[in-house]
Chains A and B, each alone.
Chain A
Amino acid sequence: MRYVDELRDPRLIRSVAAEIARLADPDRHYRIMEVCGGHTHAIYRHGLTELLPPNIELVHGPGCPVCVLPMGRIDDGLAIADQPGVIFTAFGDMMRVPGRNGTPLEHQARGADVRMVYSPLDALKLAQANPEKHVVFFAIGFETTAPSTALTLQRAKALGVRNFSVFCNHVLIVPAIRAILDSPDMRLDGFIGPGHVSTVIGCRPYLFVARDYGKPLVVSGFEPLDILQSILMILRQLAEGRAEVENQYRRVVPWDGNPAALRAMAAVFELRPYFEWRGLGFISQSALKIAPAYAEWDAEARFAVPGIRVTDPKAAQCGEVLKGVLKPPQCKLFGRECTPEHPIGALMVSSEGACAAYYHYVHRLATAGRSDRCARQQPV
């Protein structure tokens, strides 16, 4: 078993799709949110919407750490990158995300020492190999990624590596789900729960979704059969009038999560009282900062960052798209001012953002009729 090809078996996919079609009430419109950007990406990548009846609408949630990061935080990070003697490291995902004065790649082209890493441990290694420089790791990600940063900081402390620090932007998905559920214009019937976050936090933190808000949530894997099976499980709950937290992704998600990962996070991080999410606004206790015991490795404490808030243009309707009130192309800026090449709103900045995914995988089809002649007449 390789846990990939088996879960793309066309025969099984067709039979799950048929069962979904059988179970979906034709008189009802279903709005199901996949919280995680990885699911959004997989749904488009595998063309899964083609396999669903038209009355099942998948709403793309806030689970893209790159998308929800406010531009001000990127500017703060790049202000550190521009300082002499700094090697600034980030995941590939961040390299093309624009701040007010350009992306990390553009800062690199202008002379900043910006490097892409695959793992925070690689950034630490870079610090050990360059003792005359200070290496900053731009940490992003949800609970999936936070333990990796935590273990890296624990190792830096244990090894006494003092020319290394972390600019911490880790955020938590559960408060974001609650913020969406509390929004007055929320119209969702159920949730496809984040799979890889749940390997760390388990399934219990979602119980409030079912208990307090009466919505089904199914923690789901990322292969086509996983996602379709999760949709089927949600439909079954709805058909039977149940609202429960279920675990479709049992092959990697333990109900109680990963205790070692939770311990590492608790040792290294503490909750921020509040944090701004691009598109959703301020959400209390929704992000992590580095605990005082690790202050020496906290880039925010070490460097004076401008800390300026940059608000998105009012015309960008990211919040409405995030809550499922609008579909990406219904935003006034979509595909015009706001494109993957020149993103204005949060959801266009990363390939797993709802708008970027929609743009790459669907939008071109919708606009295919427009010839280049029309494009020429538009002011460019």
Chain B
Amino acid sequence: MCLAIPGRIVALEPDTHLASVDVLGVRRRVNVDLVWDQGLAEGDWVLIHVGFALSKVSEEEAAAQLRLLEALGEDQQALEEVQGYIFDATD
């Protein structure tokens, strides 16, 4: 229901709690009041919604998700190989 897009902080303006964020080369200044407590640095990724950063994006969590899904793929491949082997054996 709410369009929010990850963008990378390219410049921080601590006085005004504004940050310049970059989405594929498109830049906009967004308000970072809602994530200020979490500590921000240039290069951090934030989720942008209607001109506000709603939350910080965690690279570790994203990497963990991808690792988990990779493992799923490997399990399946193993399963297919085993099934293929059984199939061959009974042939």
Chain B CB within 8 A of A334 CB = no
Establish whether residues B37 and A260, one from each chain, have CB atoms under 8 Å apart when the complex forms: yes
Interface size counted on chain A using CB atoms at 8 A:
50
Chain B CB within 8 A of A19 CB = yes
Q: How far is B59's CA from A275's CA once the two chains are assembled, in angstroms? A: 39
Establish whether residues A199 and B72, one from each chain, have CB atoms under 8 Å apart when the complex forms: no
Q: How far is B34's CA from A151's CA once the two chains are assembled, in angstroms? A: 9
Q: How far is B35's CA from A78's CA once the two chains are assembled, in angstroms? A: 34
Establish whether residues A121 and B54, one from each chain, have CB atoms under 8 Å apart when the complex forms: no
A-B contact pairs, 10 of them (CB 8 A): A1-B59, A3-B62, A6-B62, A12-B69, A64-B1, A119-B50, A121-B31, A200-B54, A250-B61, A251-B61
Residue of B2, B35, B52 touching A119 (CB-CB under 8 A): B52
A229-B65, A252-B56 known, 11 other contacts, Cβ within 8 Å: A2-B24, A4-B6, A12-B69, A15-B76, A64-B1, A121-B52, A144-B54, A199-B55, A229-B69, A250-B58, A251-B65
Contact flag A196-B49 (CB < 8 Å), given A3-B6, A38-B1: yes
Mark A91-112 against chain B: 1 for CB-CB distance below 8 A, else 0.
1000000000000000000000
Chain B CB within 8 A of A355 CB = no
Establish whether residues A196 and B66, one from each chain, have CB atoms under 8 Å apart when the complex forms: no
Establish whether residues A144 and B62, one from each chain, have CB atoms under 8 Å apart when the complex forms: no
Which residue, B1, B31, B52, B69, has most C-beta atoms of chain A within 10 A? B1
Contact flag A141-B2 (CB < 8 Å), given A15-B73, A196-B49: yes
Establish whether residues A250 and B47, one from each chain, have CB atoms under 8 Å apart when the complex forms: no
User: How far does the Cβ of B54 sit from chain A's closest Cβ, in whole Å?
Assistant: 5
Chain A CB within 8 A of B41 CB = no
Residue of B1, B54, B66, B70 touching A258 (CB-CB under 8 A): B54
Establish whether residues B55 and A258, one from each chain, have CB atoms under 8 Å apart when the complex forms: yes
Which residue, B6, B55, B58, B70, has most C-beta atoms of chain A within 10 A? B55
Chain B CB within 8 A of A373 CB = no
Contact flag A3-B37 (CB < 8 Å), given A15-B73, A196-B4: no
Contact flag A199-B62 (CB < 8 Å), given A91-B50, A260-B33: no
Establish whether residues A118 and B51, one from each chain, have CB atoms under 8 Å apart when the complex forms: yes
Chain B CB within 8 A of A337 CB = no
Contact flag A16-B63 (CB < 8 Å), given A122-B51, A254-B55, A260-B37: no
User: How far does the Cβ of A19 sit from chain B's closest Cβ, in whole Å?
Assistant: 6
Establish whether residues B33 and A151, one from each chain, have CB atoms under 8 Å apart when the complex forms: yes
Chain B CB within 8 A of A18 CB = yes
Q: How far is B37's CA from A19's CA once the two chains are assembled, in angstroms? A: 40
126-152 of chain A: CB within 8 A of chain B = 141-142, 144-145, 147-148, 151
